[in-house]
């Protein structure tokens, strides 16, 4: 007989088993085991929104075996993730296994280390039903909106669409930003930029026009700029004032979920989904040489900036030893979390501060190393002394005109020796030694035309920041929100920027016109706050559901009546491909298995055909065109347009280039290998080798 501990993932189970040892059986639930079935609404609206849960399809055998194991165990501990979702999974497991939710069978681990696991097992508690209800309320709300609103928007715009309580607000933010950009009217302005030296030195430094004897001047036209340039012809430039000082730059706090996603996007180019996947792996456990299986970071879904005193002490000890006592602040710094932050977890930090990224590197994947390196350096830097800079600002006078130059030098690097969180500073130029009365030599003076720029489009990082600042969603949902709105084609990525599609704009306009609360930022934020209060035991979740749904149902009924027979046409659905039967230009439709072409003359003309995406490549077997196709699950593959006469098919993506050996089209495998699929050719090269080869060719030329 042994004690059964149920966690969510096999990696976590392996790490925890190592610390618990004999007498414990650790198994993984692989996430949720029970949920609202997708085939129907599964919510009894007339019975206070009672959810109708069922075992998730495919997990019946696992549940049967789990029941048997639980029945044979001395005790069962529910050790799912320490958040709202994890609490709900534990509650579902308790229900399935017939456990009493009031018994102390719930344990949580903020970190998967010996200390973290031991502390968790020593302090079991009852399941927090308030947290469970907060998760149920969100799940039911999202199901109600999705199942009631999605059919309506699909009917009015395009089949297969979905609307969501949070995703629709995220799309609206992106659409509203696009409207701002379109409405933006650029304004002209000019700068006068000068280059000087301080004789006899030849070192050049920059200064910019500030104003004249009337004060600060904004130059708005070429004529105005030319007047100042004329006024400055032959003028003598003298340093009229030098102001020196020091400034202190304090380190940024350790990461929370949103800031980790933002920084990983900015520094590493990682999408939020990728960041969270890697962070989950680091939390659950990795085999590290010399340490065994262990969690490298604390729980990664958090918005608290709190860190334990034990971790602070260990981090400071490492800093003092590795960098010297002068790199520790005079007094410990405590960062304050946002007002609505949940303080159940610490900030994201390394579980063993003395384990450096370089020591762990050989045991980690490339992505794991990059994220661990980021988390470790940010945490360590947050404990370190400020960076002290010597600043200098000089004013230069010439014929009544004033130029300004500023810069700094580092007096003490402090935390920036490890982690510089502000790499792009306008006044980063180093100035030569300047004294009041110095006569300068003008090397160059030019007028440069500029135009004010529209607000920048959202990136993943800036959208996450906006969602957080507006109280939309929660740390655990940011990655899935972005994944959803991109996969649904309401938003498209162009580089790092997020652009709304015509579909996204049409959806947003329809919701704004008919369901203004659904896409209202303030309303959604208030709803999030109410749901948080459910988790704190301050609100009744059924009352909140009634408050939302009773009004929503009336709005939906009115929208259906007002828009009966109305269909919104999208330009992106129009094509110039003629119907072979009646001559009308065909339109793009969405069916069960994706997009296809259909005649708009339905029901008079019922002609349909596949939507083909040309790749420009030629089939290596018969010479026909290679086209992109999609599986039923939406995965892209490539095949010959002459199918079924030619059966050529590949998952490899055409590169648009031809083989240097045989002239056939080249294809790229995952992993960056470019190769020729012409039988008997055998040409293959990695992308990195091709790049180096191209660079050598350019050098020779």
Would you name the residues annotated as active-site residues? 299
User: Nearest-CA neighbor of 334 among 350, 353, 347?
Assistant: 347
Q: How far is Cα 43 from Cα 41, in angstroms, rounded to an integer?
A: 6
Instruction: For the chain, report the end-to-end CA distance as a whole number of angstroms.
Output: 76
Q: How far is CA 78 from CA 24, 87, 107, 108, 618, in A?
A: 13, 9, 6, 8, 56
Asked if the bond preceding 426 is cis, omega within 30° of 0, the reply is: no
Looking at the DSSP bridge assignments, the partners of residue 287 are 293
| Residues 241/437, Cβ–Cβ less than 8 Å | no
**Cβ atoms 690, 673 nearer than 8 A:** no
Question: Tokens for 588?
Answer: 């793009």
Q: How far apart are CA 168 and CA 458, in angstroms?
A: 15
- Give burial (CB, 10 Å; 0-12/13-18/19+) of 34: buried
Longest dimension (CA), the chain: 96
Structure tokens that stand for 581 in this block: 């039967």
How far apart CA 168 and CA 61 sit, in angstroms, is 37
CB neighbours of residue 641 within 10 Å? 17
Q: Where are the alpha helices (DSSP H) in 431-540?
A: 460-469, 478-487, 502-514, 521-535
Q: 251, 386 in Cβ contact below 8 A?
A: yes
238-262: burial string, b at 16+ Cβ within 10 Å, e else: ebeebeeeeeebebbbbbbbbbbbb
Q: Which residues pair with 497 in a beta bridge?
A: 459, 494
Length, in residues, of the chain: 701
393: three-class secondary structure by DSSP: strand
Give the HSE-up count for residue 45: Cα atoms under 13 Å, Cβ half-sphere. 15
Q: Strand, coil or helix: what is 6? A: strand
Q: How many whole angstroms separate alpha carbon 665 and alpha carbon 697?
A: 22
DSSP, res 663: -
DSSP secondary structure, 288-336, as one string: ETTTEEE--B--S--------HHHHHHHHHHHHHHT-GGGS-SS---PP
Give CA separation, 653 vs 426, 587, 658, in Å. 43, 27, 13
How many Å apart are CA 316 and CA 201, to the nearest integer? Answer: 45
Burial 452-491 (b: 16+ CB within 10 A, else e): eeeeebbbbbbbbbbbbebbbbbbbbbbebbebbbebbbb
């Amino acid at each position: 007989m042994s004690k059964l501990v149920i966690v969510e993932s096999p990696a976590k189970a392996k790490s925890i088993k190592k610390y618990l040892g004999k007498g414990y059986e650790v198994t993984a639930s692989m996430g949720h085991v029970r949920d609202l079935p997708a085939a129907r609404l599964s919510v009894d609206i007339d019975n206070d929104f009672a959810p109708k849960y069922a075992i998730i399809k495919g997990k019946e055998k696992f549940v049967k075996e789990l029941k048997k194991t639980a029945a044979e165990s001395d005790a069962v501990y529910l050790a799912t993730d320490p958040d709202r979702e994890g609490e709900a999974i534990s509650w579902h497991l308790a229900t399935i296994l017939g456990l009493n939710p009031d018994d102390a069978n719930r344990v949580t681990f903020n970190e998967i280390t010996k200390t973290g696991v031991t502390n968790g097992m020593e302090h079991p508690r009852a399941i927090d039903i308030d947290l469970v209800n907060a998760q149920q309320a969100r799940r039911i709300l999202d199901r109600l909106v999705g199942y009631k609103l999605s059919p309506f928007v699909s009917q009015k715009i395009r089949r297969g669409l979905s609307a969501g309580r949070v995703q629709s607000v995220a799309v609206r933010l992106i659409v509203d930003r696009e409207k701002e950009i379109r409405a933006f009217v650029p304004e002209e302005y000019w700068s006068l930029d000068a280059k000087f030296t301080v004789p006899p030195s030849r070192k050049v430094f920059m200064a910019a026009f500030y104003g004249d004897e009337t004060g600060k001047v904004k130059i708005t036209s070429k004529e105005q700029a030319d007047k100042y340039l004329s006024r400055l012809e032959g003028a003598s430039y003298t340093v009229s004032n030098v102001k020196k000082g020091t400034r202190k730059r304090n380190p940024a706090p350790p990461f929370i979920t949103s800031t980790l996603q933002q920084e990983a996007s900015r520094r590493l180019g990682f999408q939020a989904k990728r960041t969270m996947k890697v962070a989950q792996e680091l939390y659950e456990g990795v085999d590290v040489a010399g340490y065994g299986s262990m969690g490298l970071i604390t729980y990664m879904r958090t918005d608290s900036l709190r860190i334990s005193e034990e971790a602070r002490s260990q981090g400071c000890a490492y800093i003092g030893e590795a960098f010297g006592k002068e790199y520790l602040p005079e007094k410990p710094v405590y960062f304050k979390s946002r007002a609505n932050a949940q303080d159940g977890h610490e900030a994201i930090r390394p579980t063993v501060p003395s384990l450096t990224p370089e020591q762990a590197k050989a045991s980690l994947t490339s992505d794991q190393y990059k994220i661990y390196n980021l988390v470790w350096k940010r945490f360590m830097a947050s404990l370190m002394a400020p960076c002290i800079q010597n600043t200098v600002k000089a004013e230069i006078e010439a014929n009544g005109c004033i130029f300004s130059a500023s810069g700094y030098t580092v007096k003490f690097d402090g935390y920036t020796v490890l982690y510089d969180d502000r790499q792009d500073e306008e006044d980063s130029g180093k100035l030569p030694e300047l004294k009041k009365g110095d006569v300068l030599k003008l090397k160059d003076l030019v007028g440069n035309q500029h135009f004010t720029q529209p607000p920048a489009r959202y990136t993943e990082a800036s959208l996450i920041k906006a969602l957080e600042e507006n109280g939309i969603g929660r740390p655990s949902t940011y990655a899935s929100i972005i994944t959803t709105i991109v996969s649904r084609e309401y938003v498209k990525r162009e580089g790092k920027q997020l652009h709304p599609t015509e579909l996204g704009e049409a959806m947003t306009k329809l919701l704004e016109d008919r369901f203004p609360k659904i896409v209202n930022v303030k309303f959604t934020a208030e709803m999030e706050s109410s749901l948080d209060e459910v988790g704190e035991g301050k609100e009744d979740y059924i009352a909140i559901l009634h408050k939302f749904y009773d009004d929503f149902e009336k709005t939906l009924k009115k929208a259906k009546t007002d828009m009966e027979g109305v269909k919104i046409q999208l330009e992106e659905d129009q094509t110039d491909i003629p119907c072979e039967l009646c001559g009308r230009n065909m339109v793009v439709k969405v069916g069960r298995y994706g997009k296809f072409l259909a005649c708009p003359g339905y029901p008079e003309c019922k002609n349909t055909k596949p939507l083909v995406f040309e790749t420009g490549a030629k089939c290596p077997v018969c010479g026909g065109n290679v086209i992109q196709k999609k599986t039923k699950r939406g995965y892209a593959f490539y095949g010959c347009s002459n199918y079924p006469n030619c059966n050529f098919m590949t998952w490899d993506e055409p590169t648009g280039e031809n083989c240097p050996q045989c002239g056939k089209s080249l294809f790229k495998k995952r992993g960056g290998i470019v190769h020729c699929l012409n039988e008997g050719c055998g040409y293959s090269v990695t992308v990195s080798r091709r790049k180096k080869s191209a660079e050598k060719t350019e050098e020779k030329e």
